[in-house]
Amino acid sequence: MSQIGKLHIDPSSPFFILGPCALELEDFAWQMARSLKEIAETTGIQFIFKASYDKANRTSVDSFRGPGVKEGCRILGEIGKELEIPVTTDVHTAEEAEIASETIDFLQIPAFLCRQTDLLEACAKTGRPLNVKKGQFLAPWDVSNIATKLEHFGCEHYYITERGSSFGYNNLVADMRSLHWMRDMGMKVIFDATHAVQRPGGLGGTTGGDGELAPVLARAAVATGVDGLFMETHVNPDKAFSDGPNQIPLNEIESTVTRLLAIHQAAHGKI
C-alpha cells in the first residue's frame, strides 16, 4: 500500500485530487479545503487537496498567475498540517521542486514539462511521490520513457495523468484506451477530468472548456479503470481567476464523487 502524506492509498478504490485551479486568495483556499475535507469525510473518499501557486502557462500575459512558490507553498503547507490532509501543486523548475518538497506531499509536473529531464530529476531527488501529467503531444506508450527517467533518478512512487490529446485547433479529446494501455504497461494512472475538457486558447485571450462534461468523462474513466481522479472545483466557476469554464461547481462535488464510487463498485467490485 503506497502513501501520500499521511494518506495510505487503498488500491481497491480510486483516490481523488480535488481543489480549485489557482490559489486565488488565502481565505478562499482555506474555505475550499475545509469544504472538500468535509465532503471527503461524508463520502468516504481518499482525498488530496490541490491548488496552483503559479499558473505559469496562461494564454495572456495579463492573466492571473498566483502568489508564487514560497507564499503558495506556505499556504498549502499550513492547510495540509492543520486539516491533516495531503496537498499537491505544480512545480515548474528544479528550484521550485526543492522549495515545494519542504511542505508539499505530492509534487505535480505539468503536461508541457513532462519530458524535462532536469525537472524530473529534481523532483525525483526530493523523495516525494510524483504525479506527471502526460503531454497532449504524447502517445500512451511514450510515457515509458518518462518512467525510465524517473526510475533512473531513484523515484519509484509516481503516477501518470491522462488529460487528453490535441485534436485539431483549440480542442482536446480523451481516449479511454490510453488508460487501459498505460495501466497494462504497469503504470499507476490518474485521469484529469478537468483539463481533458479544456479548449486551449479557445476564447482568444483565455482558455475555454466544457466543464459540464468533466463528470461525464470521469464516469467513463472510472468504469475503464484508474488509480485516481483529478477534478478542479470552485464555489463559483464563472468568477474563478483561472480555468473557470472547466471547473465543477463545489455544490456538485459530493453527488459527483458518490456516483463515481458507485460506478467503480459496479465495474470493479466483487459481485
CA geometry: angle at 104 spanning 99 and 107, to 5°? 90
d(Cα 24, Cα 29) in Å, to the nearest integer? Answer: 7
Beta bridge partners of residue 162, listed in sequence order: 191
Summarised one tens digit per residue, pLDDT across range 159-205 is 999 999 888 788 889 999 999 999 999 999 999 999 888 776 655 55
Is the Cβ–Cβ distance between 39 and 139 less than 8 Å? no
Summarised one tens digit per residue, pLDDT across range 76-98 is 999 999 999 999 999 999 999 99
Among 21-25, 100-104, 159-163, 261-265, the least confident range: 21-25
Q: Cα-flanking dihedrals φ and ψ of residue 61, to 5°?
A: -65, -20
d(Cα 114, Cα 111) in Å, to the nearest integer? Answer: 5
pLDDT (average), residues 228-241: 94
Please state, in angstroms and as integers, the Cα–Cα distance from residue 140 to each residue in 6, 14, 19, following that order.
30, 20, 26
Question: How many domains does one find in the chain?
Answer: 1
Residue 105, C-alpha cell as written in the block? 506531499
The kind and range of the H/E element at 162 are strand 158-162
For residue 85, the domain's CATH number is: 3.20.20.70
pTM beyond 0.85: yes
CA geometry: angle at 133 spanning 61 and 184, to 5°? 160
Residue 37: which domain range?
3-268
Summarised one tens digit per residue, pLDDT across range 202-221 is 555 556 677 789 999 999 99
